[in-house]
Every structure is written in C-alpha cells, then in structure tokens.
Amino acid sequence: MPYRYLASASPIYFKSPKETWIDSYQALLDDQFENAATLETIQEETSFSSGSLSYVTVRLNNAINSETGQKMGGDFKHIMFQDLTHSTGIGFKYYFSDNYWVTINTQRADNLTATATIRRCNATLRWMGETGILYSEPCAIDYEVARPRDEVGSKYPVTPQGYIDVYAQLNDNTNLIKGNQRFLFGTPTNRIAYKVFGNGVRNFLNEETEDDESSALVRLTMGGDFADENTDDIANGIADYNWDFGTLNSGSAVGSLYVVVDPSESKIIESGSAAYSVYYYSGSVVQSGSFVFSVNVGNVVPAANYTFASLGANSFSVVNNEQYLEDTLDILCSGSSGSRLLNLQLRGAW
C-alpha cells in the first residue's frame, strides 16, 4: 500500500487525531485563557495533604448544579486551570477570600479541561490526639440540621437531637477520627457540641474501586451533644481536652501523667458486671490522686439498662441490666490532675 511508509514515520511528526485536537485546544487556552473577567490568583496545596500552599492563576466561576442546571450558592465555586494536565482531585484544598475550600467534584473522567468544583470550609475540626498533640482541619458543614428537636424520657434527662454531615479532606490527621468522638463548633460564648455516631465515619468512598487507600474525602455524620465547661476547652473550641479516644489501656496523657484504667475491656455482656480501677501513672509508676466518678452529662442510655456505683476514690462498677446498642455508656472520671471519659458498651449475650 502507498501509505505504509507514511504510517511508519516518527510519531513526532505524525500524531493521532486525538493528540492533534488536544494540542490545538491547549494552544487555544494558552492564547485566550487570560482574556476573561473571571481570572483570579488563588492558593492551592502543592501536593495532596501537604499543608503547604502555592499561587496559581485560574478562572473562578459560580458552580452549576449538574442535576438541575441551576447556580449553586456562593459557598460553591468552579475552578478551571490553563494547563490541561494540571493535577486535580477530590479532597484537594485551596485558599482564597480568607477561606479554605475543599474539592468535592472534578468531572475529570468526562472533561478534557482540568477543572474542579470546590466547597467553602465554614468551620474547623479541632481535637486532641492520643499523644497530647492538638489537630485541626478545615471542614464544610451542611446548612440543614436534620431532626432538630430534644428527646425527653422519664428515666433520663432531656437529650439534644439534630444530625449534621461534615466534610473534610481525608488525610493522616482526619483518619484518626473515630466514632463517638466529640467536637465543638460555634462562637466561643456559645459553643455547640456534636458527637460522631458510632458508625458515622464515611472514609470508604474510594477514588479507585480496589484501592482502599484512595478515598480522599471523609464524611462525618454527627448528632447533638452537650458542651461541658468542666472538661472541654470552651475558649479554643476543643472538646474532651483532657482525654483521648484510644482503647482503655492506652492511657490518657495529662502533662507528664497518664490516666490508666484497669481492666482494659470496654464491653460488658448482658447480666454481667465489671469493676474498674483508675489511677494516675508517670511512666510505669502509680501516682497518688483520687477521682470522682459519674455518668457523663448527655448520656442517652436509659437508666434502667445499667447500674452504676462509685466504689471509692479510685474505682467504680457497672452492671449491664439490659443491652443497649445505639450508643455507649459514658463514664466521667474527674480528677484534680486530669480527667478521662470511658465509653463502655452494654452488649448482648456476647
């Protein structure tokens, strides 16, 4: 055939039609990109979850709801990059207009242009890790509070209701967040407390089906809780400032002391009981110090399901009268040198 020599020529000179179209489109963007009223210079993470920012010039537009075709609110923006190969992805963070923004959609699979739909972070997650390190992460909270009402029962006090969904970049820090962990939001003079449901951490929406580490955005479903001025750092918005959320035998760091609970088992089977001792430790040495034990404010487990008793300055007991699987029984161990919150599970026959 007369064209076999043409087909065997160097690909440098003979590109496929697709490559030609892409090159032409990139050339058009290079020539016309800055000819727009929506041109803005913003900051983006230099690499995913790095925390360091660099400047980039983009086209910044109002976002359009793909389902309705309507403009979304000012908390949603659409970014377009000049370079077709610019790195984008779910969970990528940006900073401009005095706010952090997190990517919630890229449409990379069906869009030649490098684009991203981003959402403004309207709050901050703050918490203390197991080793006493303070963490914070910008987050976006949905506007609506589902089921905003109080629950009243004859056997336990009024408990707040109201569910919210919170979105944040899934990184090494936010991957530490567990079910039943509490957070404070709102103004310093009126903090609002929420607790992650036991199964409320959604970190499994993979970007690649078979790669369980490819999820880049975490969704936390939380329910209403109480702010506690005795144990929360109200001024700085950090819930449970004096204890961690690890296993019971991991200890809770308070300065150079640790609050250690024995035994470490947090599950009590139905009709069973458990007695716990609580002491301060410095390294492996027991330190003096007493505690006051009580069922934590905001506990939702019906009083008939358990029997709680303080046995002295360093011990207490709990009897599981009837299983309760919807939430944990939270026991506050309050001491002058630090406190600890224990999340006990009232299980069934096993």
Sign of CA dihedral 206, 47, 135, 224: negative
Token digits of residue 290: 């007493």
Q: Quickly state the pLDDT bin for 34 (edges 50, 70, 90).
A: confident
Q: Quickly state the pLDDT bin for 249 (edges 50, 70, 90).
A: very low
Pick 158 or 26 by higher pLDDT. Answer: 26
pLDDT at 233: 84
Q: Quickly state the pLDDT bin for 117 (edges 50, 70, 90).
A: very high
* 84-95 pLDDT tens trace: 888 889 999 999
Taking the C-alpha atoms of residue 336 and residue 347, their distance in angstroms, rounded to an integer, is 32
Instruction: Give the 3-state secondary structure of residue 202.
Output: strand
Domain boundaries of the chain, sorted by first residue: 15-120, 123-224, 248-346
How distant is the alpha carbon of residue 21 from its chain centre? 42
Domain range 248-346, CATH architecture: Sandwich (2.60)
Taking the C-alpha atoms of residue 186 and residue 191, their distance in angstroms, rounded to an integer, is 5
Q: Which of 126, 69, 115, 62 is nearest to 90 (CA)?
A: 115
pLDDT tops 90 at residue 103: yes
CA distances from 206 to 47, 211, 213, 217, 256 (A): 19, 7, 7, 9, 40
pLDDT at 221: 94
Taking the C-alpha atoms of residue 316 and residue 309, their distance in angstroms, rounded to an integer, is 6
Query: How high is the mean pLDDT of the chain?
Result: 82
Least confident of 15-29, 108-122, 254-268, 301-315: 254-268
Least confident of 46-50, 168-172, 242-246, 269-273: 242-246
15-120: CATH class: mainly beta
Q: Give the max Cα distance, the chain.
A: 98
- 238: which DSSP letter? B
Token digits of residue 8: 């065997």
Pick 321 or 25 by higher pLDDT. Answer: 321
Taking the C-alpha atoms of residue 73 and residue 90, their distance in angstroms, rounded to an integer, is 20
What percentage of the chain carries pLDDT values higher than 90?
39
CA distances from 228 to 28, 259, 328, 341 (A): 59, 19, 18, 12
pLDDT tops 60 at residue 181: yes
244 in Cβ contact with 253 (< 8 Å): yes
